[in-house]
């Protein structure tokens, strides 16, 4: 019976069959080691000349990377083998072999651009495999959290008729006899949803045609955006915290092996417990200035400023109540200080920066109209959004969590480009 | 304590508080009925003049659709009330009221175009609510099935550098100094994924700039595309069947109320059991001709032809082994008949048409190159895809299930436009 490497421990000392791809191999005259990959994991196979047919043992000399093999053997415990188990091979067959060209990704250092050009093959490598496995689990944790907590998935459209916050960073396409823009956020549509479903979310690809070339920017990335009726800023922070802890807990529980492959310090992740720290923008500005970086009240944080703040803490920190003038029109004013709005960013520790941005939304019709005017945004572009403040308007809040930044943080990788299967950046749209 | 309408049965004969929106109301002098919506469901509230303060009872006269109210009362069983429960109100408060304009959606027939123009409000209506709730559950069932069966989510990119099957129905955008096209299918990327993860899927928005104006076409729709290594056509049909039955079973179990709101005959859904019917394209053509519609072997099915075939069956039917000349280059030849390929469509009963398309893929390098050439597709556009047939190539198969068609079928609605929160069609990109 074919078994999967993921469940190999269930078959200790038993004979199993596995089909998969050759990730690596080495051989002396009498013993050979093959690292086999079956799509669920990696395992070491030991081939001893005297333990199998000579013909089969000798066929190893033809082996090359990515050959497909079918092996039969006994599962053994081996503390020194990666993963703790290995297979003592009894039968061995090459079922697919290609040697007209050398496999592009050799066991040596390649430049990252070369690897990204071969992303369709690079995904087979151990660390890329581990990263995508953790991404898959993070996404499932997100969907489970939403489902268990009664959020209804309300997919926001990607093709949108107007450019909510200006066209500067939007991808545009002809849409029959008009124009369409690829969505940069599904938030406004979620705000329509909460009056029907109370708690909604969207979770889809999001597009920003920004010329940013940083380790935190993709032109196409995934974002989850929950929105909650009858929810204020304080409750929002509680929800964000609960949500992030749920994700982290799941990953620690179910992705230990893959975290280890990536060399992620699990102890650092275990520190991500309730409560997160909460400081006001005003206090954060003071912290930045005290940390030696000059910054005026009213300026926005950059990566360096965020780093100074987050370095004070070993777990995520909320920065709340930003100056109204640097935040979008839909954020609610702080009733205690009209210079600031009830917005909040969540900054991950260890320099991973902002992973969540959220706010309480303006729910009063007149205030919304005033804010649109002040921002120079034409009312006719927000016709249906304004309707939401006429019928059944209630206080509500929501946030957006950037998936790839979260994956990068949890896996400990240095750049969001490998936190997604096929990254899109200013200079990359292949493969 | 605030409770949710979804869980009202847990509070029978107890006092509860509910906040929500007024969906409908009527009043005589002494008794009033309010249908309240809280985002989890709808419930009837009974207000009896003598059972509450006169001031509160009289405030009902100001009530209008979509007002937000806060009520306190006792949960009662009432077989004649929608949902089987109602609340005998003790306290009643209007917490948001707007009457400067009439709520656009009145309790009368509106044209569908009017309703779609007010989709942001129409979602609050009972049937739209029920449809989206079922959509949410279908999506969760899909994600759970994939997770439980070891499929790894490998999001295919939306922005792609080339047009795999011609640019005719593609949305195009400037991408910095080059062009990009919105993906019509994530399949080819999944074929890269299976060599790393064995079983993968993508599930995202998909775009077709088709000028089709039928009840089955959207320009932006969601599609799930699983791909499986070491899988042939027969196994693929088994997987598709298992998958569809899993979804249907979940919906029957957990969405009975919403199916009833939509008037869906649950008995029809209960018939969707294993095995589905399987007929060859050749037999299906005969069936169409016998059914009175003229059709030559080698032509493709349209909606009318599909309807004739599906009307023979009370559950889904697989049509397999299509003429090679009407199917894409990546489909594997039938070894027993080179005129046909190992492709398969799954046709839903009751006229809902094709909901799944799938095939075994060509895995031989030379055959792939030959097919590309025959289809007039330049090799340089498929550089990375061709690589997959060089290293580690194995037989594999996959399929794509159209989400909105599946939602329309399961909910029994007549048009895919309300199977998605914010539909995009040739003449619609608002709201």
Average pLDDT, chain B: 96
Q: Which pLDDT tens digit goes with each residue over B293-340?
A: 999 999 999 999 999 999 999 999 999 999 999 999 999 999 999 999
Q: Which pLDDT tens digit goes with each residue over B400-423?
A: 999 999 999 999 999 999 999 999
Chain A touched by B364 (CB under 8 Å): no
Check residue B168 and give its pLDDT: 75
Q: Which pLDDT tens digit goes with each residue over B20-55?
A: 999 999 998 899 999 999 999 999 999 999 999 999
Q: Which pLDDT tens digit goes with each residue over A18-76?
A: 999 999 999 988 999 999 999 999 999 999 999 999 999 999 998 999 999 999 999 99
pLDDT: which is higher, A291 or A1: A291
CA dist., res. A76 & res. A78, Å (int): 6
Q: How confident is the model at residue A164 (pLDDT cuts 50, 70, 90)?
A: low
Percent of chain A predicted with pLDDT > 70: 99
Domain ranges of chain A: 5-96, 120-418
Other CB atoms within 10 A of residue B101 CB: 9
Chain B touched by A171 (CB under 8 Å): yes
Percent of chain A predicted with pLDDT > 90: 94
* CB-based burial label for A324 (10 Å; 0-12, 13-18, 19+): buried
Q: Does an H or E element contain B220, and which?
A: strand B220-229
A172 pLDDT above the threshold of 90? yes
| Cβ A388 vs Cβ A349: under 8 Å | no
Average pLDDT, chain A: 96
Decide if A192 and B67 are in contact by the 8 Å CB cutoff: no
Average pLDDT (A214-235) is 97
3-state secondary structure of A331: strand
Check residue B374 and give its pLDDT: 96
Give the bridge partners for B220, in sequence order: B207
- pTM assigned to the model: 0.98
Chain A touched by B378 (CB under 8 Å): no
Check residue A140 and give its pLDDT: 98
Measured between beta carbons, the chain B residues lying within 8 angstroms of A182 are 173, 182
Measured between beta carbons, the chain B residues lying within 8 angstroms of A393 are 68, 96, 98
Class (C level, CATH) for A120-418: alpha beta
Average pLDDT (A357-384) is 96
Indicate the residue of B103, B180, B182 with minimum beta-carbon distance to A391.
B103
Beta-carbon pairs below 8 A across chains A and B: 258
B163 pLDDT above the threshold of 80? no
Q: What's the distance, Cα to Cα, between the start and end of chain A in Å?
A: 36
Q: How far is CA A78 from the centre of its chain?
A: 33
B90 pLDDT above the threshold of 90? yes
Q: How confident is the model at residue A16 (pLDDT cuts 50, 70, 90)?
A: very high
Check residue B165 and give its pLDDT: 62
A4 pLDDT above the threshold of 90? yes
Indicate the residue of A121, A176, A193 with minimum beta-carbon distance to B426.
A176
Q: Is the Cα torsion angle B261, B262, B267, B272 positive or negative in sign?
A: negative
A379 pLDDT above the threshold of 70? yes
Check residue B2 and give its pLDDT: 86
Indicate the range of A350-354, B65-69, B341-345, B364-368 predicted with least confidence.
A350-354
| Cβ B164 vs Cβ B288: under 8 Å | no
* CB-based burial label for B234 (10 Å; 0-12, 13-18, 19+): middle
Contacts of A159 (CB under 8 A, 6+ apart): A173, A175, A180, A181, A182, A183, B171, B207, B219, B220, B424, B429
Check residue B93 and give its pLDDT: 95
Chain A touched by B9 (CB under 8 Å): no
B164 pLDDT above the threshold of 90? no
- CB within 8 Å of chain A, chain B residues 245-304: none
Other CB atoms within 10 A of residue A381 CB: 14
Contacts of B25 (CB under 8 A, 6+ apart): B32, B33, B34, B35, B60, B63
Check residue B107 and give its pLDDT: 86
Fold equal for A5-96 and A120-418: no
Class (C level, CATH) for A5-96: mainly beta
Q: Which whole-number Å values give the CA distances from B60 to B49, B96, B266, in the listed order?
A: 11, 13, 38
Residue of chain A whose Cα is closest to the Cα of B102: A391
Decide if A199 and B174 are in contact by the 8 Å CB cutoff: no
Residue of chain B whose Cα is closest to the Cα of A66: B392
Average pLDDT (A305-310) is 94
The C-alpha of A153 sits at a distance from chain B's nearest C-alpha, in angstroms, of 5
Decide if B152 and A136 are in contact by the 8 Å CB cutoff: yes
Decide if A387 and B121 are in contact by the 8 Å CB cutoff: yes
User: With a cut of 0.95, is the ipTM above it?
Assistant: yes
Q: By C-alpha distance, which of A136, A81, A126 is closest to A254?
A: A136
Q: Which pLDDT tens digit goes with each residue over B245-254?
A: 999 999 999 9
Residue in this structure with the two tokens 């032109």, named with its chain if needed: A219
Check residue A333 and give its pLDDT: 98
């Amino acid at each position: 019976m074919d078994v999967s490497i993921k469940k190999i421990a269930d078959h200790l000392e038993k004979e199993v069959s596995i089909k998969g791809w050759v990730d690596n191999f080495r051989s002396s005259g009498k013993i050979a080691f093959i690292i086999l990959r079956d799509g669920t994991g990696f395992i070491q196979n030991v081939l001893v000349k005297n333990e199998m047919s000579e013909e089969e043992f000798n066929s190893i000399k033809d082996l090359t990377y990515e050959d497909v093999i079918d092996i039969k053997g006994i599962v053994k415990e081996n503390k020194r083998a990666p993963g703790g188990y290995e297979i003592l091979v009894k039968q061995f067959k090459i079922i697919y072999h290609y040697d007209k060209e050398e496999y592009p990704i050799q066991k040596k250092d390649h430049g990252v651009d070369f690897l990204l050009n071969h992303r369709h093959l690079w995904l087979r490598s151990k660390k890329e495999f581990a990263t995508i496995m953790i991404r898959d689990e993070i996404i499932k944790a997100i969907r489970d959290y939403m489902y268990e907590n009664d959020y209804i998935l309300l997919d926001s459209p990607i093709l949108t008729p107007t450019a909510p916050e200006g066209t500067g960073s939007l991808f545009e396409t002809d849409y029959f006899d008009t124009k369409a823009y690829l969505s940069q956020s599904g938030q406004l549509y979620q705000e329509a949803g909460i009056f029907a479903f109370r708690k909604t979310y969207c979770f889809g690809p999001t597009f920003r045609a920004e010329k940013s070339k940083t380790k935190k920017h993709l032109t196409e990335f995934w974002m989850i955006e929950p929105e909650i009726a009858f929810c204020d800023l304080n409750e929002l922070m509680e929800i964000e915290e609960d949500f992030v802890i749920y994700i982290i807990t799941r990953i620690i529980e179910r992705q230990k092996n893959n975290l280890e492959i990536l060399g992620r310090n699990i102890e650092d992740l275990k520190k991500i417990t309730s409560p997160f720290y909460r400081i006001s923008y005003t206090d954060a500005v003071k912290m930045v200035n005290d940390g030696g970086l000059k910054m005026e009240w009213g300026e926005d944080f950059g990566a360096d400023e965020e780093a100074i703040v987050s370095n004070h803490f070993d777990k995520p920190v909320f920065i709340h109540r930003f100056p109204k003038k640097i935040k979008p029109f839909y954020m609610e004013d702080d009733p205690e200080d009209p210079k600031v709005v009830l917005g909040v960013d969540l900054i991950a520790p260890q320099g991973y920066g902002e992973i969540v941005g959220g706010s309480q939304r303006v729910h009063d019709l007149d205030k919304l109209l005033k804010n649109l005017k002040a921002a120079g945004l034409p009312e006719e572009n927000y016709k249906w959004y304004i309707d939401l403040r006429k019928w059944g308007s209630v206080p509500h809040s929501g946030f957006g969590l950037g998936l790839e930044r979260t994956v990068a943080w949890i896996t400990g990788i240095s750049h969001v480009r490998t936190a997604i299967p096929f990254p899109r950046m200013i200079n990359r749209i292949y493969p």
